[in-house]
Amino acid sequence: MSEALPPARAYARLRYRLVLLDLACSALFLLGLQVSGMSHGLARWTQGISPVFAVQWLAYLTLLGSAQYVLLWPLHFYTSFRLEHRFGLSRLSFNGWLVREAKHVAVGSLLSLVVLQGLYALLRQAPVHWPLYATVGWVAFSVVLARVFPTWLLPIFYKTSPVQDDALQQRLSALCARVGLPVLGVFRFDLGRETRKANAALAGLGRTRRVLLSDTLLQEFPAEEIEGVLAHELAHHRYRHIVKLLSLSAAGSWLALSLTPHAAPWWLARLGLHSLADPAGFPALMLWFSMLGVIGMPLQHALSRALEWQADRFAAATTAPGALAAALRRLSALNLADPQPPRWVVWLFYDHPPITERIRAAESGAAR
């Protein structure tokens, strides 16, 4: 049935179903691990590895994460490799996908281990005030990641180099200066070896802030459309959208973490757990956080969509008439964006407004 639909609509429908399936499978994995007693057994087994809790906890997380990855690998492989090739979006060979996947797993695992080691250290050392300390730690961790992303993390996945087009460099640097946001420079990253999709970003904070343009964007878009895309990204910094979203994340994190000690007794006794710091209860704790995350996601995405509208209005007013609308239309075609997503999908998953609505609004702004 989906083959009769336009490619963008068919691709989007499959993506929605796969996201829901992944959420359900992850939840079932954690639930099964917890209620079957396997988590208790794994925690007891890791206690024999070392008397140091941090080593025990590392072993527990490594084994649990490896098991989850292996069990969900077929779904992940289909979503990130087969589906992308089916719709002509991916340019990766299977070996190339394996290399990229290994990098994602390594970096993601390292960052997750840092966060979870810190969380359980707080649960053990500050059993009363840990929600406040964990919130502060999470915000600090997010700020550090944003600052080092273009210099440490991005080069792991993509080669970056200064844009060689001097006229474009000067044009975009002038736009940044006009908006009052000086940048280190305009850089190209080689997204095209992986996909036909295009992307752009204003990444980093302070001295690390720079313009990042994918090679696919540079190849497919004229200069005025690239300027329209960059103006949108500049608006996020000009209007402090990152600070606003980070503040919402901090407030949501503090609320979720503060609710946890009050809700935890309900499952701790039933599952034979001593406290929240008991590693055997990790699956139950992750299920609790996942549930709160799903509940809070519509609010966070609603704010994000409002900020995206503000960024679009700024870009339409700052650059050549019609430039943003043309760029969005070209991005929609390249990335196979869903032209008419269901409202429930927008409400739950979309942190940007639907692309068709953005194009219409940008065209209307140009006409005015």
Question: What does the pLDDT read at residue 4?
Answer: 61
Q: What is the mean pLDDT of residues 130-156?
A: 94
210-214 and 186-189 as β-strands: parallel, antiparallel, unpaired? parallel
Average pLDDT, the chain: 94
What is the length of the chain?
A: 368
Q: Which residues have a Cβ under 8 Å from the Cβ of 302 and sit 6 or more positions away?
A: 347
Question: What does the pLDDT read at residue 366?
Answer: 56
Question: What does the pLDDT read at residue 183?
Answer: 86
Distance (Å, whole) CA 309 – CA 67: 41
Q: What are phi and psi of 338, to 5 degrees?
A: -70, 120
Q: Is 189 helix (H, G, I), strand (E, B) or coil?
A: strand
Q: What is the mean pLDDT of residues 334-361?
A: 95
Question: What does the pLDDT read at residue 103?
Answer: 97
Distance (Å, whole) CA 43 – CA 59: 9
Instruction: Please report where in the chains the tokens 């992303």 appear, as a residue.
Output: 149
Q: Please provide the distance, in angstroms rounded to a whole number, between the alpha carbons at the two ends of the chain.
A: 41
Question: What does the pLDDT read at residue 1?
Answer: 39
The 8-class DSSP code of residue 313 comes to H
In this predicted structure, the answer to whether residue 78 has a pLDDT above a threshold of 80 is yes
Question: What does the pLDDT read at residue 204?
Answer: 87
Contact 192, 216 (CB under 8 A): yes
210-214 and 160-162 as β-strands: parallel, antiparallel, unpaired? unpaired
Distance (Å, whole) CA 97 – CA 103: 10
Distance (Å, whole) CA 353 – CA 347: 10
- State the CB neighbour count (10 A cutoff) for residue 186: 22
In this predicted structure, the answer to whether residue 18 has a pLDDT above a threshold of 50 is yes
Q: What are phi and psi of 188, to 5 degrees?
A: -105, 140
Residue 231, both tokens: 């103006």
Q: What is the mean pLDDT of residues 173-189?
A: 90
In this predicted structure, the answer to whether residue 272 has a pLDDT above a threshold of 90 is yes
Question: What does the pLDDT read at residue 9?
Answer: 95
Sketch the domain layout of the chain as residue ranges. 2-128+271-367
In this predicted structure, the answer to whether residue 89 has a pLDDT above a threshold of 80 is yes
Distance (Å, whole) CA 183 – CA 173: 7
Whether the model clears a pTM of 0.75, i.e. scores above it, the answer is: yes
Tens-digit pLDDT profile for residues 299-344: 999 999 999 999 999 999 999 999 999 999 999 999 999 999 999 9
Q: What is the mean pLDDT of residues 57-67?
A: 97
In this predicted structure, the answer to whether residue 367 has a pLDDT above a threshold of 50 is no
Contact 173, 154 (CB under 8 A): no
Question: What does the pLDDT read at residue 368?
Answer: 47
Q: Which residues have a Cβ under 8 Å from the Cβ of 62 and sit 6 or more positions away?
A: none
Residue 80, both tokens: 């990130």
